[in-house]
């Protein structure tokens, strides 16, 4: 796939899946605006970073989002697509989970994606494609949208909401040449996973015992799938959740011989 001349906005772009996606697309010619709550904490010396601009933005602040997207359009032109990778995953015992903690996860994981998509879609509606191609949105869902794990009430609810929001958005935005799909990763090697494993050392072994491929995925493997959903190769795909989970969701229990 080539993304020469394309421009994409990626939230959560300073680490994990977001950064891997930014680098994957940039290596293939795209210009990227990578947005994150915090400044990138790594050396931007690799060649692909010449095509990645990093900016800070709070995905819960609509005014900040409107400002940063407006500035991006002035500088780089109309974005060809959007990836909403910003998100949080926190373990909460059900009996101690507070309203504020629940609302915060929904605000970031669900409303953050909604805000970015709505603001971009308003621009795209006023600037329809002239060549029958489409704008593309990829929202980050998760296997937790359809499987249940203890201590994930808020997180799983948020990802289930993202999956359904994807379907509804795809119907409403299709007449304007906008495709909307969700990427639903399984267990992926990121700083977030490392933190969760540190908190619960046995958690990873438990997950891998229910993953047919028997390993953790890499961010780059998710990035390539996201790239497919952005590319014209998936021009007839909308309203779908693409699961990249090593087979976890098709086989919830593996019986050892």
Task: Note the pLDDT tens digit of each residue in 207-221.
Answer: 888 899 999 999 999
Question: 8, 155, 176, 236: which one is catalytic?
Answer: 155
Q: What is the pLDDT of residue 43?
A: 56
Lowest mean pLDDT segment, chosen from 14-23, 69-78, 244-253: 244-253
Average pLDDT (194-209) is 80
DSSP 157-186: HHHHHHHHHHHHHHHHHGGGTEEEEEEEE-
60 and 111 in contact (C-beta within 8 Å)? Answer: yes
CA of residue 156 relative to chain centroid, distance: 15
C-alpha–C-alpha distance, residues 244 and 257, integer Å: 26
110 Cβ neighbours under 8 A, 6+ residues apart:
158, 161, 162, 165
Average pLDDT (57-83) is 98
Average pLDDT (198-204) is 79
Indicate the average pLDDT of the chain: 92
C-alpha–C-alpha distance, residues 116 and 118, integer Å: 6
145 Cβ neighbours under 8 A, 6+ residues apart:
156, 159, 160, 162, 163, 182, 184, 241
Q: What is the pLDDT of residue 257?
A: 44
Question: What are the residue ranges spanned by the domains of the chain?
Answer: 7-187+218-244
C-alpha–C-alpha distance, residues 12 and 116, integer Å: 12
Residue 139: pLDDT above 90? Answer: yes
What share of the chain has pLDDT > 90, as a percent? 76
Which has more confidence, 166 or 195?
166
The CATH superfamily holding the domain 7-187+218-244 is: NAD(P)-binding Rossmann-like Domain (3.40.50.720)
Q: How does pLDDT run across 142-157, given as a tens digit for each residue? A: 999 999 888 889 999 9
Stretch (H or E) spanning 11: strand 7-11
Q: How does pLDDT run across 34-57, given as a tens digit for each residue? A: 999 987 655 554 556 789 999 999
155 is catalytic: yes
C-alpha–C-alpha distance, residues 25 and 20, integer Å: 9
Lowest mean pLDDT segment, chosen from 63-72, 146-155, 197-206, 234-243: 197-206
Burial class of residue 116, CB neighbours in 10 A (0-12, 13-18, 19+): buried
C-alpha–C-alpha distance, residues 218 and 95, integer Å: 33
């Amino acid at each position: 796939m080539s993304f020469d001349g394309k421009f994409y906005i990626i939230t959560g772009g300073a680490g994990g899946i977001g950064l891997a996606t930014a680098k994957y697309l940039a290596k293939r010619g795209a210009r990227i605006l990578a947005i994150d709550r915090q400044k990138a904490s790594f050396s931007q010396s690799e060649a692909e970073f010449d095509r990645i601009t990093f900016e800070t933005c709070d995905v819960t602040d609509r005014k900040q989002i409107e400002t940063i997207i407006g500035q991006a359009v002035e500088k780089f032109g109309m974005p060809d697509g959007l990836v909403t990778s910003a998100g949080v995953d926190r373990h909460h015992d059900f009996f101690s989970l507070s309203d504020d903690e629940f609302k915060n996860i929904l605000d970031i994981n669900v409303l953050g994606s909604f805000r970015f998509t709505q603001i971009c879609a308003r621009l795209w509606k006023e600037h329809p494609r002239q060549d029958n191609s489409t704008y593309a949105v990829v929202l980050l869902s998760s296997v937790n949208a359809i499987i249940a794990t203890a201590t994930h009430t808020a997180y799983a609810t948020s990802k289930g909401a993202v999956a359904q929001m994807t379907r509804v958005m795809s119907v409403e935005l299709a007449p304007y040449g906008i495709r909307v799909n969700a990427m639903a990763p399984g267990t992926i090697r990121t700083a977030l996973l490392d933190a969760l494993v540190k908190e619960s050392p046995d958690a990873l072994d438990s997950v891998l015992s229910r993953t047919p491929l028997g390993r953790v995925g890499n961010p780059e493997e998710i990035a390539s799938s996201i790239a497919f959903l952005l590319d014209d190769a998936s021009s007839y795909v909308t309203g779908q959740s693409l699961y990249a989970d090593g087979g976890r969701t098709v086989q919830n229990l593996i019986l050892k011989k």
